[in-house]
């Protein structure tokens, strides 16, 4: 992935939080937080937390003894997430790369990631790291968007850009956020994941 595709800095974090979170991400954050909470985890790792929409939904649902480690590759995104979150001693904020997680083996009951796995430059490497930090019997929950044609807004934007720039149409939406769809799934985002079990 090009470096510019994964850089969320400057004014982007604030715009992301103010515009995209309420427009796109909040309902899915509530769904993912509920799925995680049903597992009753004590040690939770959130990868690619962005500006913290899932963190805000999940923290009130976790037990008093739980710990939530919230990470993102981009420190400016994490700074917005931290600023928006009420004080909570159970939450640890840490810049981290999903490709090289700075945590011990078998540290977490649950690892979660909302709409972030599509941005991993090496998914196999990132999934291997996730599996490494999961405890036996742990769970990895994540969600992705369906193909761009199944998302009315993203498809309209992609088509408009293609009409405006026919010689070199920008394909970022189709290539990255909507580039990890399973064609056998329905036309809506779904939570996915794997569980780590004893072999």
* 113 bridge partner residues: 142
Residue 140 near residue 31 (C-beta atoms within 8 A): no
Per-residue pLDDT band for 67 (boundaries 50, 70, 90) equals very high
β-pair partners for 112:
46, 141
173 Cβ partners below 8 Å, 6+ apart? 148, 154, 157, 158
pLDDT digits (tens, 9 = 90+) for 10-22: 667 676 666 664 5
Largest CA distance in the chain: 56
The rounded mean pLDDT for the chain is 82
Does the reported pTM lie above 0.75? yes
3-state secondary structure of 45: strand
What confidence score (pLDDT) does residue 17 get? 66
Query: Cα(173)–Cα(40) distance, rounded to whole angstroms?
Result: 35
The CA-to-CA distance between both ends of the chain, in Å, stands at 34
Over residues 114-126, the mean pLDDT reads 90
Q: Tell me how long the chain is.
A: 199
């Amino acid at each position: 992935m090009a470096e510019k595709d994964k850089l969320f800095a400057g004014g982007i974090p604030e715009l992301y939080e103010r515009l995209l979170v309420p427009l796109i991400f909040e309902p899915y954050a509530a769904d993912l937080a509920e799925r995680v909470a049903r597992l009753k985890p004590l040690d939770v790792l959130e990868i690619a937390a962005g500006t913290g929409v899932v963190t805000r939904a999940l923290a009130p649902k976790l037990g008093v003894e739980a710990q939530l480690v919230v990470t993102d590759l981009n420190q400016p995104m994490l700074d917005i997430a931290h600023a928006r979150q009420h004080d909570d001693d159970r939450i640890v904020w840490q810049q981290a790369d999903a490709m090289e997680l700075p945590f011990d083996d078998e540290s977490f009951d649950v690892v979660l990631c909302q709409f972030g796995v599509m941005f991993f430059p090496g998914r196999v490497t990132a999934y291997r790291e996730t599996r490494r930090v999961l405890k036996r019997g742990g769970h990895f929950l994540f969600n992705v968007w369906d193909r761009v044609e199944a998302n009315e807004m993203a498809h309209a934007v992609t088509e408009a850009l293609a009409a405006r720039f026919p010689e070199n149409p920008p394909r970022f939406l189709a290539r990255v956020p909507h580039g990890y769809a399973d064609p056998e799934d329905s036309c809506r985002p779904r939570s996915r994941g794997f569980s780590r079990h004893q072999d």
